[in-house]
Amino acid sequence: MRKLFTTDHRSLGVLYLLLSLAAVATGTLLSLLMRVHRIWPDTPLPLLGLMKPEDYLALVTMHGTLMVFFVLTVAPQNGFASLVLPGQIGARHMAFPRLNAISFWLMALAFTILISAFALPSGAPLSGWASYPPLSAIASAGPGQGTGMDLWLLSIGIFCVAAWLGAVNLLATILGERGAGMTWSRLPLTVWAWLTTSILTLLVFSVLLAAAVLLFSDRHFGSSFFVPLNDVVNGHVVGRGDGSPLLWLHLFWFFGHPEVYIAILPGMGLATSLFANFTRRRVAGYKVMAAMLVAIGGLGLLVWGHHMFVSGMNPYAGTAFALTTMAIAVPSTVEVIGWLSTLWGGGLRLTTPMLFALGFLSFFIAGGLTGPILAQPALDTYLHNTFFVVAHFHLIMAMAGVFSVFAGIYYWFPLMTGRMMNDLLGKLHFWISLIAAYGTFLPMHISGLAGEPRHYERLAGPVVSFSEILPNERGITWSAILLGAAQLLFLWNLFASAKRGERATENPWQATTLEWAPEIPRRRIERGPYEYENGGTESMFRPQWESASKQE
């Protein structure tokens, strides 16, 4: 109990991670059900029976919502930041420890509310994680769009507040609690990433909250923000005023695009640190890398329209958004080239965290390269809402994101438990996951190019059967099952190592950043974050907690 209602930032970090572990386990199960249903749509599933079309859509919606909010926001942004951010900047605690606990409990509440939608007789909502109105605004538009959708809105509303409190806390901590001498250019790149994502969180989650309030008012108070005049749903005229569905799209994607960067920037910062550590090199162009993280965040606020090229948005706006999107590809490229050049001739130490960081890089490139293709409105006309987009964001956000979270867990596990995770199991987990993930998401490009739209409950419809991509889809499903199964290795490793793992030495990765300091330094910090020296076989490194004059 004492441990549960803790305000200690490290315990809270672990709690956040456990929450996202629960969410990722649920989300993965849902996705496997979807994959199985897609290739055997008429086979009853054990326990669940025959899946109805609305069940499939409910699975997609809940899967997306869980993964985007409760996994890829909670783990990298709140979990890891609570765990190590104060340590990394030489602070004793978060600026507001109790606020951190409140934010965690709100997130747990939001999670419970969301999951409880499955228990409703009418089922969970089915309008997808982007919840476009009028489908999401009118209860009679589909099963699950009544109470289920209300629960979704409530859960997201609470999550917005929680994320917002979390971001306030992180910002106040980074700005106010840095140890003496911890100047801006001595911050590890993870801290730069958290700084950026926290600002983004403040700016965009409040907009999502406002949008959710408007939608809720449309649903219950008879307003017409998003429902147009004379809208007829299910034989009833429900539209009362000149509401505009496009308004929701703008508000939602103004949140939605920065949100994907909230998910990935911490991973980018972590990968940079790991590459430096396991090549025993300084980060190539530290200042540039930090600046690019911030630039990506800033530009990320200006590109939301690339989700709306075919939505009926003004085509000139489409051009503008296409250009800003091309512009954001540049800082991303700078980051990737920075990593590749740090690795070049680096004599990598292929530890498990390093492998996962390399996996992150591989997926980031694989998914990132389809970004500029989708950013061309003329091409996106064909590709939008097909499996090509599904492939894009699963590679860059889901896989790159999750691999960076794995890297973080393997890397910081000693900080959580004082033990190491099993290396052999870890490496097995990595290789199976890597291959299965590529096996799952690369072939999706082919389905997408063949014109297969997303959110399809079955391939064969009244007119098109997509029979030519069925083998491809089968392969994807088997791969996905393998991918899911590989995570059992991870779970086993996680809990077994927490109990019986090998005891970690002090600073087991020979890292330089402050979270590994034996105690919180009381002295002024005088070093940069990545002072590794590549001295032949015996490597030298200068942790930030050592004073500048001691060495040499």
Contacts of 454 (CB under 8 A, 6+ apart): 385, 386, 387, 389, 390
Of 38, 63, 186, 257, the one binding Cu ion (CB under 5 A) is 257
Closest approach of other proteins to the CB of residue 480, in Å: 19
Residue 396 interaction partner, one of ligand HEM, Cu ion, other proteins, none, beta carbon < 5-8 Å per kind = ligand HEM
Contacts of 503 (CB under 8 A, 6+ apart): 418, 419, 420
Q: Any contact of residue 384 with ligand HEM (CB under 6 A)?
A: yes
Binding to other proteins, residues 322-341 (CB under 8 A):
322-323, 326, 329-330, 333-334, 336-338, 340-341
| Closest C-alpha among 68, 73, 66 to residue 29 | 66
Helix (H, G, I), strand (E, B) or coil at 99: helix
Tokens of 378: 């003329």
Residue 372 within binding range of ligand HEM, rule CB under 6 A: yes
Segment interacting with Cu ion, rule: CB under 5 A, options 136-144, 253-261, 442-450, 451-459? 253-261
Q: Which amino acid is at 231?
A: D
User: Closest distance between other proteins and the C-beta of residue 202, in Å?
Assistant: 4
How far apart are CB 177 and other proteins at their closest, in Å?
5
Q: Which does 200 bind (CB under 5 to 8 A by kind): other proteins, ligand HEM, Cu ion, none?
A: none
- Kind and range of the H or E run holding 11: helix 9-39
Long-range CB pairs of 224-227 (<8 Å, 24+ gap) are 226/133, 226/134, 226/137, 227/133, 227/134, 227/137, 227/138
Pairing relationship of beta strands 540-541 and 236-237 according to DSSP bridges:
unpaired
For other proteins, the closer of residues 53 and 298 by Cβ is 53
Q: How far apart are CA 447 and CA 467, in angstroms?
A: 11
Q: Which two tokens stand for residue 52?
A: 């109805």
Q: Which two tokens stand for residue 83?
A: 């765990």
Instruction: Give dist(CA 467, CA 301) in Å, integer.
Output: 40
Of residues 62 through 91, those in contact with other proteins by CB under 8 A are 87, 90-91
Site size for Cu ion, by CB under 5 A? 1
Q: Could you say which of 380, 452, 473, 515 contacts ligand HEM (CB under 6 A)?
A: 380
Member of 1, 47, 119, 378 binding other proteins (CB under 8 A): 378
Segment near ligand HEM (CB under 6 A); pick from 15-23, 327-335, 471-479, 482-490: 327-335
Per CB under 6 A, does 126 bind ligand HEM?
Answer: no
Minimum CB distance to other proteins smaller for 22 or for 329: 329
CA distance 162 to 16: 12
CA distance 528 to 189: 11
Angstrom CA distances, 105 to 1, 15, 56, 67, 373, stand at 14, 10, 30, 18, 41
Residue nearest to Cu ion (CB): 257
Options 16, 339, 360, 393; binder of ligand HEM; rule CB under 6 A: 393
Long-range interactions of 380-385: CB distance < 8 A, separation 24+ = 380/306, 380/309, 380/310, 381/309, 381/310, 382/451, 383/448, 383/449, 384/309, 384/310, 385/453, 385/454, 385/455
Q: 3-state SS string over 337-401? A: HHHHHHHCCCCCCCCHHHHHHHHHHHHHHHHHHHHHHHCCHHHHHHHCCEHHHHHHHHHHHHHHH
Mask of contacts with other proteins, 337-376, x by CB under 8 A?
xx-xxxxxxxxx-x-------x--xx--xx--xx-xx-xx
Say if CB 246 and CB 188 are below 8 A apart. no
Check: CB of residue 402 under 8 Å from CB of residue 486. Answer: no
Choose among 50, 212, 40: nearest CA to 137. Answer: 212
Q: What are phi and psi of 499, to 5 degrees?
A: -85, -50
Q: Which two tokens stand for residue 38?
A: 């897609």
Rounded-to-integer distance, Cα 29 and Cα 429, Å: 18
Q: Which is nearer to other proteins, 425 or 539 (CB)?
A: 539
By beta-carbon proximity to ligand HEM, the closer residue of 233 and 268 is: 268
- 332 lies in the site for ligand HEM, by CB under 6 A: yes
Residue 234's binding partner among ligand HEM, Cu ion, other proteins, none (Cβ under 5 to 8 angstroms by kind) is other proteins
Select from 15, 115, 170, 328 the one that contacts ligand HEM (CB under 6 A).
328
Q: Does 389 bind ligand HEM (CB under 6 A)?
A: yes
* 143 touching other proteins, by CB under 8 A: yes
Contact flags string 525-544 toward Cu ion, x per CB under 5 A: --------------------
Q: Is 260 in the site for ligand HEM (CB under 6 A)?
A: yes
Min dist. Cβ of residue 108 to other proteins (A): 19
Q: Which stretch binds ligand HEM (CB under 6 A): 322-330, 415-423, 490-498, 508-516?
A: 322-330
Q: Check binding of 263 to ligand HEM (CB under 6 A).
A: yes
Closer by beta carbon to ligand HEM, 268 or else 436: 268
Q: Which is nearer to ligand HEM, 100 or 197 (CB)?
A: 197
Q: Is 315 in the site for other proteins (CB under 8 A)?
A: yes
What residues line the site for Cu ion (CB under 5 A)?
257
What residues line the site for ligand HEM (CB under 6 A)?
130, 260, 263-264, 306-307, 325, 328-329, 332, 368, 371-372, 374-375, 380, 383-384, 389, 392-393, 396-397
